Structure 1
């Protein structure tokens, strides 16, 4: 049952990305081009997502446990370290250069979007390398 719920939510998310234009790297790059062909429409997409997430978290966290699952998995750390700064910076640079972030890239790959055949494999290698570096860093830190 959990697989079907996750599949349905993933499909809904993908449809939302396509409808909002987030699967089109040109639209994303135009949003990031503040002094050129700026397109503010994605600010409304992001604002809508923030509002939905805010309300959703407020409603869901009043429950004792998730509808499907035994416990909520919430972050426990609240400190800021180099990884908290470097990770989003690298993400933002990649988003600005490629016009994709992981969700829209996978959606565009399914739609046969141009550029995704190079971007998605590079993204996967980057995720693998980041995991490898983080694991090595944690091992060196605990040794």
Structure 2
């Protein structure tokens, strides 16, 4: 898994170098006063788009897992809309998304630990809620 480590290293360095690991920069973007984040996102989208278009033509299988390439399309449903909205509110309130939060630790922003703790608790609560929903559905189906 050294390739994953190198990818994370490049990602973290890029976030730190572009100042996207600083919540105040992200908040300025959300307030329409600094559009640097837009260029970072477009750069990432272009690289990802090219990789999705080119790599499957060069290789039959994924290098780490050996699986064949395929697209797993997620339907646009209420869960995507609600989850994306909740994520967006959290991003706006904290000024940071999960990947950048870890990079923010690397530049010495220890107060970001509060946001990271909130992300973990929120993800855990969502998992508990989803498990309860699945249990209730299986009981209803058994009746």
TM-score bracket for this pair, using the shorter chain length: 0.7 to 0.9
SS at match of 1:76: coil
Question: What residue number does 2:44 align with?
Answer: 49
Instruction: Please say if residues 62 and 69 of structure 2, whose CA atoms lie closer than 8 Å, have aligned partners that are also in contact.
Output: no
Shift of 1:26: 0.3
CA-atom RMSD in angstroms = 1.8
**Higher RCO by CA contacts (8 Å cutoff, separation 6 or greater):** 2
Q: Distance in 1 between matches of 2:116 and 2:86?
A: 16
Question: What residue number does 1:103 align with?
Answer: 99
The change in CA–CA distance for 1:67 and 1:53 in structure 2 (over 3 A counts) is: same
SS at match of 1:61: helix
Question: What residue number does 1:67 align with?
Answer: 63
Q: Distance in 2 between matches of 1:49 and 1:71?
A: 24
Question: What residue number does 2:53 align with?
Answer: 58
Question: What residue number does 1:21 align with?
Answer: 19
Within-5 A mapping of 1:125-140: 125-140=121-136
Which consecutive unaligned segments of at least 5 residues does structure 1 have? none
Q: Deviations over 1:60-115 (max 9, x none)?
A: 22221012221157553442222111111011101111101100111112322153
The change in CA–CA distance for 1:72 and 1:89 in structure 2 (over 3 A counts) is: farther
Instruction: Please say if residues 61 and 69 of structure 2, whose CA atoms lie closer than 8 Å, have aligned partners that are also in contact.
Output: no
Q: Distance in 1 between matches of 2:113 and 2:64?
A: 35
Which consecutive unaligned segments of at least 5 residues does structure 2 have? none
The change in CA–CA distance for 1:77 and 1:135 in structure 2 (over 3 A counts) is: farther
TM-score, length-scaled by structure 2: 0.87
The size of the alignment, in residue pairs, is 138
